[in-house]
């Protein structure tokens, strides 16, 4: 069954794993945090995925020689669980002294274990987590780019709220529909387990009546002292904009800075579309 917060390894001293241990993975149910937003698992108001980058992946080849790689992991937002980040780090570390025939065997092992954890305890059919292994020969092809769009941070706004304030959001109903992409590097929240800060760049794309940009930036800043997992923060931002501004289409993406060799990048959208390229920002 999925674990509770008191069972999590995050914020606790734990032994470094010396052998392959898939049981280290700790699923956290999405349901409680989604219910707080007025949504359940049966009919989500958005689509999307959580795209993780694991920078500290290593294993042994058949001759015992260490191999290193980067892994891109894609968790569909429909999974009933997220995987607690430190447990994923410990699990990946448990592969360090394990022998695999090739990167395909590593990929298949990670996919199997993460898929089991993401759907653990659910009556829903188990799906598959996307896993892509990047070897050193391809590291130079991993570019760094900032999120595209109009920078909200250029605005000289007064900020006085540091817990989420949806009432700061509104659209200009008297104006014609527009389509635009807005970005900010000022999203910050706090880990609900350790209280440590989580930093992110945010990209909001929408079609509809123009969203007031000053209010949107103040709203983003209002997450500064908020406690929430990365995935939940993005879902709350999506829901608040969707309900307060009533766009015709909406997409919200956050790219969080790396912690413990992992970054987490949730995307939620009102309509299906291909995931953007997993291109990290300078702060990641």
d(CA 57, CA 136): 11
* Mean pLDDT score, 85-105: 97
Per the prediction, the chain carries an average pLDDT of 93
* pLDDT interval class at 6 (50, 70, 90): low
Q: Which two tokens stand for residue 168?
A: 């700061």
**Rounded mean pLDDT, 204-224:** 98
CA 190, CA 256: separation in Å to the nearest integer?
A: 12
Under the banding of pLDDT at 50, 70 and 90, the label for residue 122 is: confident
Catalytic residue positions?
191, 198
Numbered ranges of CATH 3.30.1130.10 in the chain? 22-141, 150-269
Give residue 123's pLDDT: 81
> Has 273 been labeled as part of a binding site?
no
CB 204 within 8 A of CB 230: no
Q: Does 141 score more than 90 pLDDT? A: yes
176 is annotated as contributing to ligand binding:
no
Q: pTM, whole model, 2 decimals?
A: 0.93
Element spanning 248, H or E: none
| Bridge partners, 76 (sequence order) | 49
Bigger pLDDT: 243 vs 8: 243
Residues 237 and 219: their CA atoms lie apart, in Å, by: 9
Joined together, the tokens standing for residue 279 give 């291109």
Residue 237, helix vs strand vs coil = helix
Least confident of 36-45, 169-178, 225-234, 235-244: 36-45
User: Is residue 260 part of an annotated ligand binding site?
Assistant: yes
Q: Confidence band (pLDDT; 50, 70, 90) for 9?
A: low
The response to whether 231 counts as a known ligand-binding position is yes
Residues 6 or more apart whose Cβ sits within 8 Å of residue 43: none
- Mean pLDDT check: name the lowest of 5-19, 112-126, 268-282: 5-19
Q: Is 188 annotated as a binding residue?
A: no
C-alpha dist (Å) from residue 60 to 102, 103, 108, 266: 9, 10, 15, 31
Please state which CATH number belongs to domain 22-141: 3.30.1130.10
Rounded to whole angstroms, how far apart are CA atoms 166 and 178? 21
Is 230 annotated for ligand binding?
yes
pLDDT of residue 16: 72
Residue 8 has a pLDDT of 56
Distances (CA, A) of 278 to 108, 116, 137, 146, 256: 20, 24, 18, 11, 12
In contact, 283 and 199? CB cutoff 8 Å: yes
Grouping H, G, I as helix, E, B as strand and the rest as coil, residue 83 is strand
Q: Please compute the mean of the pLDDT values over residues 112-118 and round it to a whole number.
A: 97
Q: How confident is the model at residue 2 (pLDDT cuts 50, 70, 90)?
A: very low
234 in a labelled binding site: no
Calculate what percentage of the chain has a pLDDT beyond 70: 94
Of the candidate CATH numbers 3.40.190.10, 3.20.80.10, 3.30.1130.10, 2.40.30.10, the domain formed by 150-269 belongs to 3.30.1130.10
Pairing, β 178-190 against β 150-151: parallel
Question: Angle 103-118/85-93 helices, nearest 10 degrees?
Answer: 150
149 is in an annotated binding site: no
């Amino acid at each position: 069954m999925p674990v509770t917060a008191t069972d999590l390894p995050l914020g606790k001293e734990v032994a470094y794993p010396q052998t392959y241990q898939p049981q280290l993975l700790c699923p956290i149910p999405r349901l409680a945090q989604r219910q707080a937003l007025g949504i359940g698992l049966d009919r989500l108001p958005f689509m999307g995925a959580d795209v993780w980058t694991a920078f500290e992946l290593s294993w042994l080849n058949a001759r015992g020689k260490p191999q290193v790689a980067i892994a891109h992991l894609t968790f569909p937002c429909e999974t009933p669980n997220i995987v607690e980040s430190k447990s994923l780090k410990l699990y990946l570390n448990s592969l360090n002294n394990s022998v695999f025939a090739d990167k395909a065997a590593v990929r298949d092992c990670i996919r199997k274990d993460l898929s089991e954890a993401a759907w653990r305890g659910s009556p829903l059919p188990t799906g598959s987590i996307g896993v892509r292994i990047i070897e050193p020969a391809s590291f130079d092809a991993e570019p760094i780019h900032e999120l595209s769009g109009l920078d909200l941070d250029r605005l000289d706004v007064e900020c006085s709220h540091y817990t989420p304030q949806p009432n700061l959001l509104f659209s200009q109903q008297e104006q014609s529909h527009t389509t635009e992409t807005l970005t900010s590097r000022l999203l910050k929240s706090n880990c609900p387990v350790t209280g440590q800060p989580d930093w992110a760049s945010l990209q909001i794309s929408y079609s509809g009546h123009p969203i007031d940009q000053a209010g949107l930036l103040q709203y983003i800043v209002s997450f500064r002292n908020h406690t929430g997992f990365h995935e939940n923060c993005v879902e709350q931002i999506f829901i608040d904009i969707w309900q307060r501004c009533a766009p015709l289409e909406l997409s919200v993406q956050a790219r969080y800075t790396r912690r413990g060799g992992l970054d987490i990048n949730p995307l939620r959208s009102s309509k299906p579309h291909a995931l953007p390229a997993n291109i990290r920002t300078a702060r990641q």
